[in-house]
Amino acid sequence: MWRRRWTLVARAARGPRRSGTRQGSGAPAPGSGATIFALSSGQGRCGVAVIRTSGPASGHALRSLTAPRDLPPSRSACLRLLSDPRSGERLDRALVLWFPGPRSFTGEDCAEFHVHGGPAVVSGVLQALGRVPGLRPAEAGEFTRRAFAHGKLSLTEVEGLADLIHAETEAQRRQALRQLDGELGHLCRGWAETLTKATDSEVRELEVALGAHLRDARRGQRLRSGAHVVVAGPPNAGKSSLVNLLSRKPVSIVSPEPGTTRDVLEAPVDLAGFPALLSDTAGLREGVGPVEQEGVRRARQRLEQADLILAVLDASDLASPSSCNFLDTVVGPAGAHSPNGSSQRLLLVLNKSDLLPPGGPDPSPDLPPYLLLSCLSGEGLDGLLEALRKELAEVCGDPSTGPPLLTRTRHQHHLQGCLDALGHYKQATDLALAAEALRVARGHLARLTGGGGTEEILDMIFRDFCVGK
Ligand SMILES: Nc1nc2c(ncn2[C@@H]2O[C@H](COP(=O)(O)OP(=O)(O)OP(=O)(O)O)[C@@H](O)[C@H]2O)c(=O)[nH]1
Ligand SMILES: [K+]
Ligand SMILES: [Mg+2]
């Protein structure tokens, strides 16, 4: 209701009131002289809500709401009484900040109002701002877009900011912060610099570096969208119990009946700080009815796509035909290298350790390294999470220590484009062709950080942002 009413006010504030703006001390964003405003903190009741403005009329807006006081000193918080400039009605007592451009987030004049977070206070201040001449509500991502337009952020930094806002796990937050700090952009500019010299040995070194980053590209993308972790094993091993334990919610039905899970069930989870899409699957066994057989087919299909397999066996039932079959057909082959040189990562978990005699599982010479766990008592969970953290740091790349990751297909596309162009450069038979290949290679690196970025790419990236960012 509140939001709907606000939309109407917001619409009314657009249009004729845009006149009357003045030039701010920051350079104006291309094609916009308007001053924008929005609630920048989350929606709903909260202790403090932050409303901000950006554009040439920001100072006027701040003065209008805090009259008769003058603008506060730059970049320091001041307590002010806010009131509606038209009716004079008191709205709130708030902290206000004044950031004259270009030393502000967007590069333009900006103001911030830190108000009490009640819906009526927030809507009152937003409505009052809507009545200030030259102000209009911001579009999604418009603050960041202006920051980009004024050279405050490069395109990879903008992407880092979008990722930071959406980060759900520790590893995603670390990665996003590094990208926001400009590490990837810095790397690309270093490469572009190398290309201006373009001696043969430097081009060769660059090819090696680009190739290494491209080989790592899938890791960064997994870190952004989640690694596929598939829980598999024979019926009744406790796969669904493990999925529920790791996701801390009842994703799957658990029962003593073998063959309970049939479909693949997925849950996005934070696994030891890394984002993962956890899949529960049907117990693998032969000679069952058509429905369960379809479940087994889907389980095998999902196993092929796994970035990491969590193989679960009942520790008290290792000698059963279904356990032996699973060890032979899934656990054994996973460690072996496939023809393309890669091997599938797998963690073997022996569940139901609470059922074992004190000496542990039956000594079996063929058993690969394993972790003991009891989903019932939770014993062994810390060890499993630590093992998962190590595995996922390999699968997703470790954003605490590794080189900057390529988290988007866009990054991969431009690095590949640059590498291809370097190939053409080496084969070029005359100077003109060689120069053209170098120009193309440099162009790809420049576009990665936003130089000559097309509007469509900008639209796509800024679509990820919320209003107020
Ligand atoms: N004692 C003991 N029982 C467990 C443990 N984990 C699971 N169970 C029991 O084992 C039975 C099977 O558990 P599920 O989680 O349904 O096993 P599943 O592998 O998903 O079974 P399917 O979906 O049928 O293949 C249930 O009765 C669980 O309560 C454990 O650590 N200790
Ligand atoms: K079961
Ligand atoms: Mg199950």
One digit per residue, the tens of pLDDT, for the chain of length 469 reads 333 322 322 333 333 333 333 333 333 344 458 999 999 987 777 889 999 999 999 999 999 999 888 899 999 999 999 999 989 999 999 999 999 999 999 999 999 999 998 889 999 999 999 999 999 999 888 999 999 999 898 888 988 988 888 898 998 999 899 888 888 888 888 888 888 877 778 888 899 999 988 888 888 889 888 999 999 999 999 999 999 999 999 999 999 999 999 999 999 999 999 999 999 999 999 888 999 999 999 999 999 999 999 999 999 999 999 999 999 999 988 866 544 545 689 999 999 999 998 877 776 667 899 999 999 999 999 999 999 999 999 999 888 887 788 888 888 889 999 999 999 998 988 888 988 998 899 889 988 887 765 566 677 677 777 777 7
Burial track 317-329 (b if 16+ CB lie within 10 A, e otherwise): bbeeebbeebbee
Compute the distance from residue 241 Cα to the ligand 1 centre, in Å: 6
Burial track 109-139 (b if 16+ CB lie within 10 A, e otherwise): bbbbbbbbbebebbbbbbbbbbbbbbbbbbe
Ligand 1 contact, 355 CB (< 6 A): yes
pLDDT for 300: 95
**Coil, helix or strand at residue 243:** helix
Q: Tokens in use for 456?
A: 């469509």
Question: Do the domains spanning 33-138 and 227-248+265-284+291-396 agree at the CATH topology level?
Answer: no
Ligand 1 contact, 259 CB (< 6 A): yes
Atom of ligand 1 nearest to the CA of 261: 23
Q: Are strands 345-351 and 308-314 parallel, antiparallel or unpaired?
A: parallel
Alpha-carbon separation of residue 342 from 309, 310, 369 (angstroms): 14, 18, 20
Longest Cα separation, the chain = 85
The position carrying tokens 């990820």 is 464
Question: Looking at this predicted complex, what is its ipTM?
Answer: 0.99
Compute the distance from residue 237 Cα to the ligand 2 centre, in Å: 8
pLDDT for 363: 66
CA–CA gap between residue 30 and residue 396 (Å, rounded):
38
Atom of ligand 1 nearest to the CA of 312: 19
Atom of ligand 1 nearest to the CA of 377: 31
pLDDT for 22: 30
Ligand 1 contact, 240 CB (< 6 A): yes
- CA-nearest residue for atom 10, ligand 1, is 238
Ligand 1 contact, 295 CB (< 6 A): no
Residue 329 DSSP label:
I
User: Pocket of ligand 1, candidates 241, 310, 355, 356: which has the most ligand atoms within 8 Å of its Cβ, to mutate?
Assistant: 241
Strand order in the sheet with 274-280: 265-271, 274-280, 227-232, 308-314, 345-351, 371-372
Ligand 1 contact, 285 CB (< 6 A): no
- CA-nearest residue for atom 11, ligand 1, is 256
Residue 449, C-beta contacts closer than 8 angstroms, at least 6 positions apart:
154, 155, 156, 184, 185, 188, 189
- CA-nearest residue for atom 1, ligand 1, is 352
DSSP string, 39-97: E-S-SSSEEEEEEEEESTTHHHHHHHHHTTS-PPPTT--EEEEEE-TTT--EEEEEEEE
Ligand 1 contact, 260 CB (< 6 A): yes
* CATH class of the region 227-248+265-284+291-396: alpha beta
pLDDT for 358: 84
- Is the sign of the CA dihedral 221, 225, 226, 230 positive or negative? negative
pLDDT for 32: 54
Closest residue by Cα to residue 82 from 61, 67, 102: 67
**Coil, helix or strand at residue 275:** strand
- Is the sign of the CA dihedral 276, 280, 286, 287 positive or negative? negative
Compute the distance from residue 291 Cα to the ligand 1 centre, in Å: 20
Domain boundaries, the chain: 33-138, 155-222+404-464, 227-248+265-284+291-396
- CA-nearest residue for atom 12, ligand 1, is 236
The partner residues of 117 in beta bridges, in order of sequence, read 46
* CATH class of the region 33-138: alpha beta
- Is the sign of the CA dihedral 432, 434, 437, 439 positive or negative? negative
Q: Tokens in use for 378?
A: 């939770």
Task: Indicate the pTM of the whole model.
Answer: 0.75
Q: For the chain, count helices (H), then strands (E).
A: 17, 12
pLDDT for 14: 31
CATH of 155-222+404-464, one of 3.40.50.620, 1.10.3720.10, 1.20.120.430, 1.10.10.10: 1.20.120.430
